[in-house]
């Protein structure tokens, strides 16, 4: 379930790129045999592993994978800069309107499900919070762990940036669209949240399930500990689907790749990365 050190250091923008001789005519990339994926850092580990395996099966296809956030990926898709936008939240109404003005009909594909885990420093004795308590912390109404039965230590709020799909889901599901305290430390990637919380005893943050590591402590939310199983059963309160968007119905090598993502092998990769498959896994 943990991420490797290279990802943690890379932060967000370009964590992994899989391009094999991208400019080589021998690969036939001038005929469109290349795929560029950009977007959610939550989806990034799935996309990276999928790209690795897909390249083994189709070495004639060059694949580029990068992060930056769901909003960044969707913008790049609408601007014609990428073939696939990965996202941890649905496209917004304003994004659909931009697509319409450009004559684009984005195709939405759910590729897996995820839960958003609330994390603290491993030394924090708190093991459970309610949704209401989390909301009060992130709104700035609670600012010391002693208010929650913990130590007399200032709560350091760590949040994702607004371009993040994880932020969008947390803002909608937990905050009910109430503003997050301006005192929050903003991070552009899940790995950044993990590192900040791991290094700050009073910190609290939120991340995708696939980023839970021994460096931080995940909390029960409303009495439910975040696992793939409770997300699958829909008993964990902070859950969401994960998406891949294309500019229209997938065609050519992009369609083949999307079909691979939804295949038993592709879904097994999502499961190994700590996410919840949407189709049966052999």
pLDDT at res. 274? 86
Question: 147 lies in which domain range?
Answer: 115-232
**Same domain flag for 103 and 132:** no
Q: Find the angle CA(71)-CA(267)-CA(169) to the nearest 5 degrees.
A: 30
pLDDT at res. 261? 97
Question: How many domains in the chain?
Answer: 2
**Same domain flag for 130 and 55:** no
Question: What pLDDT digit, counting tens, does each position of 142-185 carry?
Answer: 999 999 999 999 999 999 998 899 999 999 999 999 999 999 99
In a domain, 282, yes or no: no
Alpha helices in the chain, H assignment, sequence order: 5-10, 44-57, 70-78, 93-101, 131-139, 165-173, 190-199, 228-232, 252-262, 264-272
Q: What is the overall mean pLDDT for the chain?
A: 89
pLDDT tier at 128 (50, 70, 90 boundaries)?
very high
**Same domain flag for 210 and 71:** no
């Amino acid at each position: 379930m943990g991420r490797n050190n290279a990802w943690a250091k890379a932060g967000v923008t370009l964590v992994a790129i899989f391009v094999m001789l991208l400019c080589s005519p021998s690969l036939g990339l001038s005929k469109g045999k290349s795929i560029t994926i950009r977007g959610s850092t939550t989806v990034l580990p799935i996309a990276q592993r999928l790209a690795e395996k897909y390249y083994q099966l189709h070495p004639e296809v060059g694949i580029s994978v990068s992060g930056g956030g769901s909003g960044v990926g969707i913008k790049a898709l609408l601007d014609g800069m990428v073939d696939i936008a990965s996202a941890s939240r649905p496209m917004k109404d304003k994004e659909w309107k931009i697509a319409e003005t450009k004559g684009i009909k984005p195709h939405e594909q759910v590729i897996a499900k995820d839960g958003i885990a609330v994390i603290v420093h491993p030394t924090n004795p708190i093991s459970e919070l309610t949704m209401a308590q989390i909301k009060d912390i992130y709104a700035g109404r609670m600012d010391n762990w002693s208010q929650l039965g913990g130590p007399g230590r200032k709560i350091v709020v760590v949040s994702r940036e607004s371009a993040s799909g994880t932020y969008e889901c947390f803002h909608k599901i937990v905050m009910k669209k109430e503003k997050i305290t301006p005192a929050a430390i903003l991070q552009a990637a899940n790995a950044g949240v993990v590192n900040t919380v791991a290094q700050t005893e009073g910190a609290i943050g939120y991340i995708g399930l696939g980023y839970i590591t021994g460096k931080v402590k995940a909390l029960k939310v409303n009495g439910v500990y975040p696992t793939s199983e409770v997300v699958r059963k829909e008993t964990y309160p902070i859950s969401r689907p994960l998406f891949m968007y294309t500019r229209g119905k997938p065609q050519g090598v992009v369609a083949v790749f999307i079909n691979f993502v939804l295949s038993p092998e592709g879904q097994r990769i999502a499961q190994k990365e700590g996410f919840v498959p949407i189709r049966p896994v052999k």
